[in-house]
Amino acid sequence: MCISPRLGARSQKGQQPLIEWSIMRPRAFKITSLLAAAAIALTACSPAAPQAETKTLKVVYQKTDSFSALDSLFQSAKQEFEAAHQGVTVALEPVQANDDDYGTKLALALRSPSTAPDVFYEDTFKVRSDVDAGYLLKLDSHLEGWKDWEKFEEGAKAAGLGDDGGTYAVPLGTDTRAIWYNKKVLTAAGVSVPWEPRTWQDILDTARKIKASNPAVVPFNMYAGKATGEGTVMQSFYELLYGTGAELYDADAQRWVLGSQGFTDSLAFLKTLYDEKLAVSPAEALDANVWKKVFGEWLPQGKMAATVEGSYTPSFWQKGGSYEWPEYGQDMGVTAFPTQNGQAPGGVSMSGGWTLAVGAGTNDPQLAFDFLATALNQKNSLAFDIASSQIAVRKDVAADAAYQGANPFVKDVSKLVAVTHYRPATADYPRISAAVQEATEAVITGAKSPAQAAAEYDTAVKGIVGDAKTVVK
Amino acid sequence: MATTTSRRRPTVSRPLLRRRARLLPVLPAVLLLLVFLAGPVLWAFHASFTNAALTGRNARSPGWVGLENYQRLFTDPVLPLSLALTVVFVAGSAIVGQNLLGLAIAILMRRARRPVAAVVGTAVVAAWVLPEIVAAFAAYAYFSRDGTLNQVLGSVGLGQPDWLYSFPMVAIMLANIWRGTAFSMLVYRAAIDDVPGEVTEAALMDGASGWQRLAYVTLPMIRGSIATNLMLITLQTLAVFTLIWVMTAGGPANASTTLPVLAYQEAFKFGDIGYGTAVASVLILIGLVFGAAYVRLLREPKQ
């Protein structure tokens, strides 16, 4: 709370006249004196003026019990930066929350100039809508003078673009999604490894075989429902949808796609998985913590044969990860998620990733950008990409031997960049994504058939963006 | 001072002034209420007529959209479900659950031996003392699939349903009863202690049975406390959010999405502050209706 000596002094002085006025003059004066008292209290509460000598940079980012790589990155960048800039203090403010809650907390902080951070961790799919909201500083003029900028992959740079073509955020790393399978469980069921399913049918055939050989094992898990949030769409539904040839959003026409057969087929595939008990039970799927069990218990203990997860998967199992599993390198295998009928390009992946951005209201844009540049220099990027199993976006990091040898799967998951897709990063997207999640939830719980759920999704999308911004394909 | 006053406002009489001066000590409280209670309520009400958002173009320059949010809300298929769930939650866990259980415990404790009363009182109050988030996690751990309840049920050979998935409303209502009963119990204990012993004794002499004494003597005499208690627990339960959010997050498939959960989802998960505050405004109105009803109940002349 804002208890300052000033407040005490003023209210003592102010008290006497306040009483006299109210006795002497009625209502109108009482109100003015009230307002005056309120004004005094409020001004006393406002933050003290910054002192000229010391500057403070406020840095906001996410930190959880299973994700501390970013915290290490900022700790190291803070040391480096403070040593190079006398009189500058970097105030690190980690937010302990999951992705959804972190996004909400960050947006709330960005709404008001007095709470907005100078540098922050920003999800790629929120960049465009946050640029629209005026939260992000345009970095073009700063990037021109930054020699490291040319070391970033061209494709990755696109993640930081706003609708006006300017760059507003610098990527930290990216990711892809693939099928992760436990070789021991597959071999025990008589499936030969390496396993490379070519079609959806291949997945079902193998999963049924595993189920028949050992009913206690979860053969093939894919997330569904609202509890796993973006995980449901990024690590499950979109792999299906984009593998049918359909898409969520027609980026050229800027319209949301409705009524596609691919959408219904994708829901039907999830329904088959859950109805035949090839995936976890619907009740387990609707627990927001289900992914912790996938990484921490089921795959390491051989209770699950395969799941669809991100390229960052090894970060949980490697040394220092939250679910250390020394044998994961030998026991696990990775393969691309197939297209529906094996059509070109033969695999599907989804990519997201996070960036660092500078707040639009920062007092010292150059200083804030310099800190961002320090945090993303070769040394810090390398350490972060290794610790959190990110796919490097800096060429000098990608070429580094330490990065390439960080885990046995770097090559496999990096290859998937060729078949990857990105989410439509519009301001409506979070709501559309929620409608997709709702459709998957309705299907796996048996509340609706795939066709009904798809029809309901179409209605929901029309309600969200309006008929004019949709197209039936 | 007095001369100045009479010169400027000769029409204002001294007793009136004194009465006004007497209001001064409550000014700080009124000020606080205005700033921290009326302010946010008015702000929310205002925001519900705009398309204010957490991100995107509308975050920069929210526009006035009139009744659009309310039109959307009243055609939203989730609203009737959410309203029904809210009513079931409040009626089941507050008006029936906490209220009756609290009254029953308060009455029984007067007859119980001292150590029994102390143990029961501590157990009940313990749930009330816990911070809401801690109580919510405890309830989640109790009702979850591998939780305490299912372990107990399993050890005596009964079925182990997934409470939070199959019976989400039952689980959150039981959790809310567990957490809130202490309040009703304390209110009723204090009220019953105030019922004069002579009145009860007189009824006893007239041959009234235990139930009759309760129905015709005790309850009418603590009527005011009942109304106050009902009002407080109703409003408190209407606003319960943490408990539900931690236990079920409104799921599965919106089966436990009460109005506060709906408002949170709309405002913060989807970033649509305008729509979220419209839901919140409806919630405030419902609270007002309940509040007004209970105030009426309090004011009715005693028989």
Q: State the pairing for strand pair A470-472/A255-258.
A: parallel
As a whole-number percent, the residues of chain A with pLDDT over 70 amount to 89
Task: Write out chain B residues lying below 8 Å of A126, CB-based.
Answer: 55
User: What mean pLDDT comes out for the span A30-41?
Assistant: 46
Question: Using 50, 70 and 90 to split pLDDT, how confident is the model at A7?
Answer: very low
Shortest distance between the Cα of A164 and any Cα of chain B, in A, equals 13
d(CA A352, CA A294): 21
| Most confident region among A266-275, A430-439, B1-10, B247-256 by mean pLDDT | A266-275
Check residue B9 and give its pLDDT: 53
**What backbone torsions phi and psi does residue A239 show, to the nearest 5 degrees?**
-60, -40
Q: Is B54 on the interface with A (CB under 8 A)?
A: yes
Asked whether residue B139 carries a pLDDT value surpassing 90, the answer given is yes
Q: Which residue of B has its CA nearest to A100?
A: B269
Q: Give, to the nearest 10 degrees, the angle between helix B78-89 and helix B168-193.
A: 40
Task: Write out chain A residues lying below 8 Å of B54, CB-based.
Answer: 104, 107-108, 111, 133
Shortest distance between the Cα of B19 and any Cα of chain A, in A, equals 10
Check residue A20 and give its pLDDT: 37
Q: Per the CB < 8 Å rule, is B55 touching A108?
A: no
Shortest distance between the Cα of A134 and any Cα of chain B, in A, equals 6
Task: Write out chain A residues lying below 8 Å of B35, CB-based.
Answer: 38
Q: Is B24 on the interface with A (CB under 8 A)?
A: yes
Structure confidence by residue, pLDDT tens digits, A308-367: 999 999 989 988 888 999 999 999 999 999 999 999 899 999 998 899 999 998 999 999
As a whole-number percent, the residues of chain A with pLDDT over 90 amount to 61
d(CA A38, CA A27): 16
**Residues of chain A in Cβ contact (below 8 Å) with chain B:** 19-20, 22-26, 34, 37-38, 100, 104, 107-108, 111, 126, 129-130, 132-135, 225-227, 282-284, 286-288, 427-428, 430-431, 434, 438, 441-442, 445, 447, 463
* Residue A191 in tokens: 């499936």
Q: Is B21 on the interface with A (CB under 8 A)?
A: yes
Using an 8 Å Cβ cutoff, are B184 and B102 in contact? Answer: yes
User: What mean pLDDT comes out for the span A175-181?
Assistant: 95
Question: Using 50, 70 and 90 to split pLDDT, how confident is the model at A44?
Answer: very low
Shortest distance between the Cα of A128 and any Cα of chain B, in A, equals 8
Longest CA span, chain B: 88
Check residue A10 and give its pLDDT: 35
Asked whether residue B208 carries a pLDDT value surpassing 90, the answer given is no
Asked whether residue A15 carries a pLDDT value surpassing 50, the answer given is no
Interface test with A, best of B55, B78, B164, B256 (most A CBs within 10 A): B55
Q: Is B266 on the interface with A (CB under 8 A)?
A: no
What is the interface size between A and B, counted as CB pairs within 8 Å?
Answer: 104
Q: Which long-range contacts (CB under 8 A, 24 or more apart) does B65-74 make?
A: B65/B274, B69/B274, B69/B275, B69/B277, B69/B278, B70/B278, B72/A463, B72/B275, B72/B278, B73/B275, B73/B278, B73/B279, B73/B282
Alpha helices (H) in A89-237, listed in sequence order: 99-111, 124-132, 140-144, 154-157, 183-188, 200-213, 230-232
Check residue A47 and give its pLDDT: 46
Shortest distance between the Cα of A293 and any Cα of chain B, in A, equals 13
Asked whether residue A448 carries a pLDDT value surpassing 60, the answer given is yes
- CA angle A450/A456/A462 to nearest 5° reads 140
Q: Per the CB < 8 Å rule, is A19 touching B24?
A: yes
Check residue B300 and give its pLDDT: 63
Residues in chain A: 473
Check residue B2 and give its pLDDT: 44
Q: State the pairing for strand pair A349-351/A420-422.
A: parallel
Q: Residues 189..228 of B with a Cβ closer than 8 Å to A: which?
A: none
Asked whether residue B4 carries a pLDDT value surpassing 50, the answer given is no
Whether ipTM tops 0.85, in short, is no
* B115-152 residues labelled b (16+ CB within 10 A) or e (exposed): eebeeebeebeebeeeeeeebbbbbbebbbbebebbee
Pick from B248, B194, B246: which is nearest to B221 by CA? B194
Check residue A377 and give its pLDDT: 92
Asked whether residue A49 carries a pLDDT value surpassing 90, the answer given is no
Check residue B18 and give its pLDDT: 83
- Domain B79-195+229-291 sits in CATH at 1.10.3720.10
Residue A31 buriedness (CB in 10 A; 0-12 / 13-18 / 19+):
exposed
Strand partners, B120: none
Asked whether residue A45 carries a pLDDT value surpassing 50, the answer given is no
Q: Is B53 on the interface with A (CB under 8 A)?
A: yes
Shortest distance between the Cα of B38 and any Cα of chain A, in A, equals 15
Asked whether residue B1 carries a pLDDT value surpassing 80, the answer given is no
Q: Which residue of B has its CA nearest to A430?
A: B270
Check residue B75 and give its pLDDT: 86
Q: Which of A22, A129, A226 sits opposite B56 (nearest CB)?
A: A129
Question: Using 50, 70 and 90 to split pLDDT, how confident is the model at B13?
Answer: low
Domain boundaries, chain B: 79-195+229-291
* Residue B107 in tokens: 């009455």
Check residue A46 and give its pLDDT: 44
Check residue B113 and give its pLDDT: 87
User: What mean pLDDT comes out for the span B203-222?
Assistant: 87
Asked whether residue B303 carries a pLDDT value surpassing 80, the answer given is no
Asked whether residue A296 carries a pLDDT value surpassing 80, the answer given is yes
Q: Per the CB < 8 Å rule, is B249 touching A288?
A: yes
User: What mean pLDDT comes out for the span A35-57?
Assistant: 53
- CA angle A214/A215/A216 to nearest 5° reads 90
Residues 6 or more apart whose Cβ sits within 8 Å of residue B107: B188, B192, B214, B218
Q: Per the CB < 8 Å rule, is B251 touching A22?
A: no
Residues 6 or more apart whose Cβ sits within 8 Å of residue B38: none
Structure confidence by residue, pLDDT tens digits, B39-96: 999 999 999 999 888 887 788 888 898 888 999 899 888 899 999 999 999 999 999 9
d(CA B8, CA A30): 15
Check residue B302 and give its pLDDT: 52
Task: Write out chain A residues lying below 8 Å of B144, CB-based.
Answer: 287
The amino acid at residue A439 is: A
User: What mean pLDDT comes out for the span B141-169?
Assistant: 88
Task: Write out chain B residues lying below 8 Å of A24, CB-based.
Answer: 1, 4-5, 8
Q: Does residue A266 or residue A411 have the better pLDDT?
A: A266
Using an 8 Å Cβ cutoff, are B217 and B199 in contact? Answer: yes
Q: Per the CB < 8 Å rule, is A438 touching B253?
A: yes
User: What mean pLDDT comes out for the span A59-87?
Assistant: 90
Check residue B10 and give its pLDDT: 53
Q: Which residue of B has its CA nearest to A425?
A: B56
Q: Which residue of B has its CA nearest to A18?
A: B24
User: What mean pLDDT comes out for the span A361-378?
Assistant: 93
Q: Which residue of B has its CA nearest to A35?
A: B31
Residue A49 buriedness (CB in 10 A; 0-12 / 13-18 / 19+):
exposed
Check residue B243 and give its pLDDT: 94
Using an 8 Å Cβ cutoff, are A307 and A221 in contact? Answer: yes
Task: Write out chain A residues lying below 8 Å of B12, CB-based.
Answer: 26
Question: Using 50, 70 and 90 to split pLDDT, how confident is the model at A34?
Answer: very low
d(CA A253, CA A470): 9
Q: Which of B35, B57, B271 sits opposite A430 (nearest CB)?
A: B271
Asked whether residue A182 carries a pLDDT value surpassing 90, the answer given is yes
Q: Does residue A351 or residue A463 have the better pLDDT?
A: A351
Shortest distance between the Cα of B226 and any Cα of chain A, in A, equals 37
Q: Which residue of B has its CA nearest to A448?
A: B253
User: What mean pLDDT comes out for the span A169-190?
Assistant: 94
d(CA A148, CA A60): 23
Structure confidence by residue, pLDDT tens digits, A393-416: 999 998 899 999 888 999 899 889
Q: Per the CB < 8 Å rule, is A23 touching B54?
A: no
